[in-house]
Amino acid sequence: MIYEPISVFDIFKIGIGPSSSHTLGPWRAAQRFLQSLKSKDILYDVTAIKVLLYGSLAKTGVGHGTDMAVQLGLSGDDPVTFDVHNIQAKLNDIGVMKKILLAGMHEVDFDPREDIEFLFAETLPYHPNALTFLVTLKNDDSIAETYYSIGGGFVIKEEEQPAGLQTAQLPFPINTADDILHWCIKTGLGIHEIVMENENAWRPEQQTREHLLNIWKVMKECVYRGCHTEGTLPGGLHVRRRAGGLNKKLLKDSAYTDFNSWGTTIQKGGNDFKYILDWVSCFALAVNEENASFGRVVTAPTNGAAGVIPAVLLYYVIFNDGKSEEKVIRFLLTASEIGSIFKKGATISAAMGGCQAEIGVSSSMAAAALTEAMGGTQRQALMAAEIAMEHHLGMTCDPIGGLVQVPCIERNTMGAIKAITASQLALQSMPDYAKVSLDGVIKTMWDTAQDMNSKYKETADGGLAVNVPLSLPEC
């Protein structure tokens, strides 16, 4: 296995929905292509540009906003800071004017309907999520660069090795769950402490803490927005948003003014099992309804699975005394390491592995983090991660209409609940008696992914995508 250092901020990225691999990845690819043009000092020599979308990016690109992301990326906008309320206006301007301002600096003719091609029947061998940028220069020379969006917002240029993206030498190199356990036993440190020591190789610890708290801030804002917004999701499926209505039903006429007072109000409702279950579902629904509405979310490890980590973390914060910033930081550090070993040993791309690679991985991440946060040992945390993935093995990705809505949004509630259940099982178990290891389940997931028919890998060619009439609402 290639040594590939992965930071917590590679796993948790701030971006815009609805998909990390189909929206955020192509957006980042467009930005990288602009940087390539600038490095060659030929940006101002460009006279025409075309974008070719292959495989899964072509088949579900419109529903995932791939064409939108490419245009915004080529315009020089950044998904972390771009105002989501201005997306449609920006796209309308490009479409009407039939021009695009590359990097916000150089205007060229560009008609999205003609210059973004969806090659439905073509798939490049390295990865199903491929896109090629073609430019013509003043001297009639042409340049083509191909990028692959490999899941979770990670992007690789053709012939570039993943390990080449990071050069840091970490004190505790980790590729597998056994590596995690090795370093924990050798040092006596918890999983989150090992991860923090590795993060220190990239930046000062205080900076890592500040960035993690910003990640948490974006997650909270996303949940709060989603729990206070009603209506119908865009895209044509007419799926009704449920988090806002559920929030009202659970809180009745309770008064609050912001996220913190809202959380306190929720906590006052007690610890009844059904009440907690409803809230965990509400948190997860809220995030992924925002994601489906082109809102700002945090990949965890993907956009399609972005609701699981916030839902489980809020369960810990509100119902299990996890309010302190330090506890939140530890939770995110542990979760990120589990996500990174899945990326190294298998995949976090639904186009490569089906939904087991998204909801399954996010559930596994949340289960491990919650277990350690609740006082579990390192072995119990890894056991929880294994249990969560074991019961997502084989899950397909068959988005109806190519939209990250049905069954994607509800799956986040299931992933969150499974994570909590997996954690409870691990906390009440002896890992020494476990029959399946986390590394074993990661290998099994990858084997399953390779055997899975391509029509169940985010292509909308099979499963629910072909068996549910598009005119029907979800509920």
Residue 296 banded pLDDT, cuts 50, 70, 90: very high
Measured distance CA(58)–CA(423) in Å, rounded: 38
What pLDDT is recorded for position 161?
67
Peptide bond into 310 cis (omega under 30): no
Q: Taking 70 as the threshold, does the pLDDT of residue 162 lie above it?
A: no
Based on the fold, state whether residues 160 and 213 are members of the same structural domain. Answer: no
Residue 278 φ then ψ, to 5°: -60, -40
All residues at 6 or more sequence positions from 65 whose CB lies less than 8 Å from its CB, including other chains: 17, 18, 19, 22, 23, 294
- Interval 217-254: pLDDT, tens: 999 999 999 999 999 999 999 999 999 999 999 999 89
The dihedral sign for the CA sequence 420, 421, 422, 424? positive
So what's the pLDDT on residue 471?
A: 56
Mean pLDDT of the chain: 95
Measured CA angle at 349 (ends 457, 356), to 5 deg: 70
Looking at the fold, whether 211 and 305 belong to one and the same domain comes out as yes
134 and 188 belong to one structural domain: no
Residue 10, domain member (yes or no): no
SS3 state at 72: helix
Same domain, 268 and 394: yes
The CA angle 17-403-117, to the nearest 5 degrees, is 90
Pair 114, 144 in one domain: yes
User: How is residue 292 written in tokens?
Assistant: 């489906």
pTM of the model: 0.94
Number of domains, the chain: 2
Query: Whole domain around residue 272: which residue ranges?
Result: 177-467
> Does residue 171 belong to any structural domain of this protein?
no
What spatial distance separates the first Cα and last Cα of the chain, rounded to whole Å?
45
Q: What is the pLDDT of residues 347-394, one digit of tens each?
A: 999 999 999 999 999 999 999 999 999 999 999 999 999 999 999 999
Q: Quote the distance between the C-alpha of residue 415 and its chain's center.
A: 14
The CATH code of the domain that includes 67 is 3.30.1330.90
Q: Checking DSSP bridges between strand 154-157 and strand 142-151, what pairing results, if any?
A: antiparallel
Are residues 444 and 359 part of one domain?
A: yes
Q: Report d(CA 175, CA 343) in Å as an integer.
A: 9
Average pLDDT over residues 257-262: 97
**Distance, CA of 51 to CA of 67 (rounded, Å):** 9
Q: Is 418 part of any domain?
A: yes
Region 133-140: mean pLDDT is: 95
Tell me whether residue 13 is in a domain. no
- Who's near 173: CB < 8 A, 6+ residues apart? 3, 5, 179
**Single residue among 109, 139, 165 that ends a domain in this structure:** 165
Q: Which of 120, 139, 165 is the last residue of a domain?
A: 165
CA angle 56, 58, 62 (to 5 degrees): 110
- 145 shares a domain with 24: yes
Q: Which pLDDT score, from 0 to 100, does residue 2 have?
A: 65
Say if 350 falls within a structural domain.
Answer: yes
Neighbours of 44 (CB within 10 A): 14
Within a 13 Å sphere around the CA of 393, how many CA atoms are in the beta-carbon half? 17
Within a 10 A sphere around the Cβ of 236, how many other Cβ atoms? 12
Residue predicted with more confidence, 125 or 339: 339
Give me 20's structure tokens: 């990390």
Share of the chain above pLDDT 90, in %: 93
Q: Check residue 164 and give its pLDDT.
A: 41
Per-residue HEC secondary structure of 398-446 comes to: CCHHHCCCCCHHHHHHHHHHHHHHHHHHHHCCCHHHCCCCHHHHHHHHH
Are 305 and 424 in a shared domain? yes
d(CA 130, CA 71): 16
Is residue 443 domain-shared with residue 310, that is, in the same domain? Answer: yes
User: Is 232 in a helix, a strand, or coil?
Assistant: strand
387 and 421 housed in the same domain: yes
Are 246 and 98 in the same domain?
Answer: no
- Residue 75's CB: how many other CB atoms inside 10 A? 22
Is 324 inside a domain boundary? yes
- Residue ending a domain, among 133, 165, 197, is 165
Residue 1 lies in a domain: no
Is residue 445 very low, low, confident or very high in pLDDT (cuts 50, 70, 90)? very high
Do 348 and 227 share a structural domain?
Answer: yes
Q: Output the pLDDT for position 469.
A: 79
Per the CB < 8 A criterion, the answer to whether 94 and 71 are in contact is yes
Backbone angles phi, psi at 54, to 5 degrees: -115, 160
The pLDDT of 49-63, averaged and rounded, is: 94
Instruction: From residue 442, give the alpha-carbon distance in Å to each of 151, 287, 414.
Output: 16, 26, 20
Could you tell me if residue 475 is inside a domain?
no
> What proportions of the chain, in percent to the nearest 5, are helix, strand and coil?
55, 10, 35
